[in-house]
Chains A and B, each alone.
Chain A
């Protein structure tokens, strides 16, 4: 966000009457309390001393094995010993950046990119280069051109960071053809790709695509995963799968940061994933989130002004909407907040001020009726805002083409 004042403004979203479509929250109210109680009961009976103790920095073996199993559900075969357990996916991004980036080093990421990665990249003083995305994800032609331009200046990015599947915030998924090209480019230029995949298992339609990690076999692709979206964000368990030389540095970096991830939550998660019930819970989430996505996209067709485009993601947690370019979504947020609804303005997903007329909307954390009401309110303030502009400038309907039948096509 542009300013500290804007961050202060978001403090209102904590109030109970505000419908927040700004978060990235999984709906943890869907987790069965009896399953939670059973795990805690088991811990109380069998492993109190262990879970109250420090654990190994790289994570406890049980969890590393279960991570290998969860990754196998997306057709990845890994050695559990290549896994470093992290305190959530955010620490995974932090550690990889800490290990690989020296001040001034270039790194490449999606445009828009995960807004939470930008402060991390900035704190290690990376030179962030963003590559435009369309509905098929990062434009590999532009990536290729950028790599060539950097090479001509004797520069090489330290890594390419991407959320290729159900991207946060754009909602786009990198096409199979582009996945092959990205992996081939990484090999050709000997550049690491950091594949961040928090949402891969949350697919609402269509067939899964192979991860970059599985296409590459783990040579140039470092994989970041998390249990935050398929079990719990509160447990703070994420992971990194990387070749040994990187893993060793990551473990040193993690030891310096926090010694180890909570043993208590690792034990909880490790035993939980040992049982096959976890797949059923993911299926439950998929059914719930699919309905919420449909509610959001449906409400947007009804309430958003003409000239707005948005993604209809096949999975994940976010819709990315782009309003007519005379609308600044930070301004719109101020109006929306006074109507009790919040979203993330698009500029937070860029480092160069782009995204000013875009917004990220989350559909996983809020029930359908609230999603519809929230979208209705945002649509209303956006239409009023546009009408005011039209009055001042004498433009008619912004001279924009009529809204397409399928908004996804336009993006």
Chain B
């Protein structure tokens, strides 16, 4: 089969995408597909028209690749693609919208408020920061509304640090959310087709509970898969994760990130196109389920057709 592998792009996650793409390209060749690797650029549509692939494998992360932009183009060109569709991508990419949908579906997600740059700049939203603190409490997490990785994430323990944290978050997107910090175990549930894969747990390597940023550094966390959970907890986490995946309209594959706190699981976000690198969580989870990387790639292609 002729597969167009889309990787790179202009998002801040270009580097991760190139690593995901390299690994996927190798797997696709190994399982006998003809692979054309494409980076996003002014000639993307012309190239796709020229190649006329049977399917496009989207190994893009962040804006433009994960937010529905590329998916919409592929739909228009009548080229099937891997991963969720346009609408699901848009819902997942926008953390605020995703959280609204989760709430509407009765699914647990921490309290939050959303600030756009325009609201702060033009409508005096800064004078509502105290109200935001009353709503979400302290500590809280400030993050850009639409970045897939940990970029721009800051933990705020004092109200006076909100402007600085918002400055950071708003460097990565024109909207930011302030979300209640939930302490608990950090879990990731990957879904492949209709199969819920074993739960991955990220265990911080240092003991500072608020050192959220450090968990995303190399060596900042170690990963355990399957996570050691009671059957009851695992069932509940899987139920909530699959419900979130469905509520957002995901298909093909995606990853749901949650915190398991004292009051049960709380959904933080859904990654429409999670990383596929050597250290990424979806491949780890698939492997724990006995699905090797190549088989996983083959399955993702099947689900796209």
A284-337 with Cβ < 8 A to chain B: 326, 328, 331-332, 334-335, 337
Shortest CB-to-CB span from A351 to chain B, Å, is 15
8 Å CB contact of A389 from B11, B149, B152, B163: B163
Shortest CB-to-CB span from B295 to chain A, Å, is 27
Query: Looking at the complex, which of A5-13, A32-40, A52-60, A153-161 is the stretch in contact with chain B?
Result: A5-13
B171 close to A385 (CB less than 8 A): yes
8 Å CB contact of A3 from B16, B162, B217: B217
B51 within 8 A of A: no
B15 close to A11 (CB less than 8 A): yes
Q: Is the interface of B mostly helix, strand, loop or mixed?
A: helix
A387 within 8 A of B: yes
A1-59 with Cβ < 8 A to chain B: 3-12, 15
A352-395 with Cβ < 8 A to chain B: 385, 387-389, 391-394
B229 within 8 A of A: no
| Smallest CB gap from A14: residue in B | B14
B294 within 8 A of A: no
A326–B167 Cα distance when bound, in Å, is 9
B10-37 with Cβ < 8 A to chain A: 10-16, 18
8 Å CB contact of A8 from B16, B162, B213, B217: B16
A385 close to B167 (CB less than 8 A): yes
B199 within 8 A of A: no
Shortest CB-to-CB span from B232 to chain A, Å, is 35
A334 close to B12 (CB less than 8 A): yes
A205–B184 Cα distance when bound, in Å, is 60
Residues of chain B within 8 A (CB-CB) of A6 are 151
Given contacts A331-B167, A387-B121, A388-B167, contact A5 B149 (CB under 8 A): yes
A3–B13 Cα distance when bound, in Å, is 13
B14 close to A391 (CB less than 8 A): no
Residues of chain B within 8 A (CB-CB) of A328 are 167-168
Number of interface residues of A (CB under 8 A): 27
A4 close to B152 (CB less than 8 A): no
B293 within 8 A of A: no
Residues of chain B within 8 A (CB-CB) of A11 are 14-15, 18
Q: Is the interface of A mostly helix, strand, loop or mixed?
A: helix
A338–B18 Cα distance when bound, in Å, is 18
A15 close to B168 (CB less than 8 A): no
B97-133 with Cβ < 8 A to chain A: 117, 120-121, 126, 129
B164 within 8 A of A: yes
B171 close to A334 (CB less than 8 A): yes
**How many A-B pairs with Cβ below 8 Å?**
74
Residues of chain A within 8 A (CB-CB) of B149 are 5, 8
A15–B64 Cα distance when bound, in Å, is 15
A120-177 with Cβ < 8 A to chain B: none
A224–B92 Cα distance when bound, in Å, is 52
8 Å CB contact of B167 from A10, A12, A338, A389: A389
Residues of chain B within 8 A (CB-CB) of A7 are 15
Residues of chain B within 8 A (CB-CB) of A332 are 171
Shortest CB-to-CB span from A384 to chain B, Å, is 9
A243–B116 Cα distance when bound, in Å, is 62
B246 within 8 A of A: no
Given contacts A391-B126, A393-B163, contact A331 B12 (CB under 8 A): no
A337–B11 Cα distance when bound, in Å, is 9
8 Å CB contact of B120 from A9, A331, A391: A391
Residues of chain A within 8 A (CB-CB) of B213 are 3
Shortest CB-to-CB span from A71 to chain B, Å, is 40
Shortest CB-to-CB span from A102 to chain B, Å, is 23
B152 close to A331 (CB less than 8 A): yes
A326–B160 Cα distance when bound, in Å, is 13
B172 within 8 A of A: yes
Shortest CB-to-CB span from A37 to chain B, Å, is 33
A388 close to B15 (CB less than 8 A): no
Given contacts A331-B168, A392-B120, contact A12 B151 (CB under 8 A): no
Residues of chain A within 8 A (CB-CB) of B11 are 12
B216 within 8 A of A: yes
A12 close to B120 (CB less than 8 A): no
B170 close to A5 (CB less than 8 A): no
A12 close to B126 (CB less than 8 A): no
Shortest CB-to-CB span from B39 to chain A, Å, is 8
Residues of chain B within 8 A (CB-CB) of A389 are 163, 167
Shortest CB-to-CB span from B223 to chain A, Å, is 15
Given contacts A5-B150, A388-B120, contact A10 B163 (CB under 8 A): no
B156 within 8 A of A: no
| Smallest CB gap from B16: residue in A | A8
Residue among B10, B15, B217 with the highest chain A CB neighbour number at 10 A: B15
A335–B164 Cα distance when bound, in Å, is 15
B60 within 8 A of A: no
B171 close to A335 (CB less than 8 A): yes
A7–B120 Cα distance when bound, in Å, is 30
Shortest CB-to-CB span from B113 to chain A, Å, is 14
A389–B218 Cα distance when bound, in Å, is 31
B270 within 8 A of A: no
8 Å CB contact of B163 from A3, A8, A337, A392: A392
A285–B233 Cα distance when bound, in Å, is 67
- Could you write out 30 A-B pairs with CB less than 8 Å apart? A3-B150, A4-B217, A5-B150, A8-B12, A8-B14, A9-B13, A9-B14, A9-B15, A9-B151, A11-B15, A12-B11, A12-B14, A15-B14, A326-B164, A331-B168, A331-B171, A331-B172, A334-B12, A334-B152, A334-B172, A337-B12, A388-B117, A388-B121, A389-B163, A391-B121, A392-B120, A392-B162, A392-B163, A393-B126, A393-B163
> What 4 A-B pairs have minimum CB-CB distances, sorted nearest first?
A8-B15, A11-B15, A331-B171, A392-B163
B binding-site residues for A, Cβ under 8 Å: 10-16, 18, 117, 120-121, 126, 129, 149-152, 162-164, 166-168, 170-172, 213, 216-218
List 12 additional A-B contacts (Cβ < 8 Å) besides A5-B216, A9-B12, A393-B163: A3-B213, A4-B217, A7-B15, A11-B18, A12-B14, A334-B152, A387-B121, A389-B163, A391-B126, A392-B126, A392-B162, A392-B167
